[in-house]
Amino acid sequence: MGMLQGKKALIIGVASKLSIAKGIADAFYREGAEIALTYQNDKLKSRVEGFASEYQSTLTFPCDVASDAEITQLFADIGKHWDGIDILVHSVGFAPGSELDGNYVDVTTREGFRVAHDISSYSFVALAKGARELMRGRNGSLLTLTYLGSERTMTNYNVMGLAKASLEANTRYIAASLGPEGTRANAISAGPIRTLAASGIKSFRKMLSESARQTPLRRNITIEEVGNAAAFLCSDLASGITGEILYVDGGFNISGMAPLDEAEE
Ligand code: NAD
Ligand code: 0WE
């Protein structure tokens, strides 16, 4: 039996077959979960419907997380199909492109800061609020995706680093808030992966190869590996884990001084 057999999972953030949320949905489906997906806008609707059909699902809903009305409508619509939700995955992050290219103090603006924190952090508690009654008393699980740029400076990650720091604190506060009703909240801190969100980033290829070189496993991680960790965290096997950040990064975050070059190995 799959480790998510019979669980109902709402996954937010599938935009392409490369999306981390796609790796998570694949793993959840393999482990026996029922899947519902959302799409940010009409441009993504038919693609996301196609992904849902891979999971034998017709449950797809629009949701731009910048909109309270769309979040409210989402849970009203889900309530018409499901008696509850066991798992909610938040795999959404955004800052205006101009914030992610250049010296932090030079490029950071009030509006860019606001948007980054609204879309990348506030939306997690907004969704937790919206899903609360559907998740209550089911030993449900909330999951979000973060990045080490929350704790260490990473060139060009800039205001997204602050938004991820906020998202991680958000995870802990949601865990404390919803723990008494049986709902857990955790985050996965993933290593860099080439996705749509990453394709807009200058020199991302160089970053990927340098990151692999400095990682204990000497390679980058995959969306399948994030999916497997997500399946664990959202399963009853992780019933004692909440408010936690789990690193799925090949060990990059524990590394001090990496080898200077391959000759030193
Ligand atoms: P992606 O582009 O495939 O996914 C980002 C998703 O965010 C898309 O589905 C997009 O539609 C959604 N989104 C953006 N603004 C939205 C809005 N206003 N309303 C609703 N949805 C919105 O890229 P990804 O790399 O899979 O990103 C998923 C998450 O993983 C993000 O939180 C990202 O920060 C995090 N992450 C990514 C990496 C990486 O290297 N790719 C590493 C660690 C963490
Ligand atoms: O969280 C992310 C990416 C988030 C992201 C990406 C974009 C590109 C397009 C947020 N907003 C936008 N806005 C756009 O207009 N990652 C963890 C991937 C990522 O992004 C980086 C990284 C890594 C890793 C940016 C700079 C340096 C490293």
Distance CA 191, CA 255 (A): 13
pLDDT grade, residue 261 (50/70/90)?
A: confident
Pocket lining: 93 vs ligand 2, CB cutoff 6 Å: yes
| 216 Cβ inside 6 Å of ligand 2 | no
Quote the percentage of the chain above a pLDDT of 90. 94
**Which pLDDT score, from 0 to 100, does residue 200 have?**
80
Does the C-beta of 145 come closer than 6 Å to ligand 1? yes
Structure tokens at 23: 């790796």
Q: Is 55 a catalytic residue?
A: no
Of the candidates 29, 39, 55, 157, the residue annotated as catalytic is 157
Q: Per-residue confidence at 265, pLDDT binned at 50, 70, 90?
A: low
93-119 average pLDDT score: 98
pLDDT at 30: 98
Tell me: the pLDDT tens digits for 202-222? 899 999 999 999 999 999 999
The predicted-structure confidence for 20-39, as pLDDT tens digits, reads as follows 999 999 999 999 999 999 99
Give the ligand with the smallest distance to the CA of 62.
1
- What gap in Å lies between CA 7 and CA 32, rounded to an integer? 7
pLDDT digits (tens, 9 = 90+) for 59-92: 999 999 999 999 999 999 999 999 999 999 999 9
Q: What is the pLDDT of residue 202?
A: 82
Mean pLDDT of the chain: 97
Q: How much is the average pLDDT of 130-156?
A: 97
pLDDT tens per residue across span 173-207: 999 999 999 999 999 999 999 999 888 888 999 99
- Cα separation of 170 and 185, whole Å? 9
Strand order across the 184-190 sheet: 60-62, 34-39, 8-12, 87-90, 141-146, 184-190, 245-248
* Least confidently predicted of 34-38, 107-111, 229-233, 256-260: 256-260
Clarify whether 247 is annotated catalytic.
no
Ligand 1 atom having least distance to the Cα of 16:
3
Which residues, 6+ apart, have CB-to-CB distance to 143 below 8 Å?
24, 87, 88, 89, 90, 185, 186, 187, 188, 230, 233, 234
Reply yes or no on whether the pLDDT at 263 is more than 70.
no
HEC string for the chain: CCCCCCCEEEEECCCCCCCHHHHHHHHHHHCCCEEEEEECCHHHHHHHHHHHHHCCCCCEEECCCCCHHHHHHHHHHHHHHCCCCCEEEECCCCCCHHHHCCCHHHHCCHHHHHHHHHHHHHHHHHHHHHHHHHHCCCCCEEEEEECHHHCCCCCCCCHHHHHHHHHHHHHHHHHHHHHHHCCEEEEEEECCCCCHHHHCCCCHHHHHHHHHHCCCCCCCCCHHHHHHHHHHHCCHHHCCCCCCEEEECCCHHHCCCCCCCHHHC
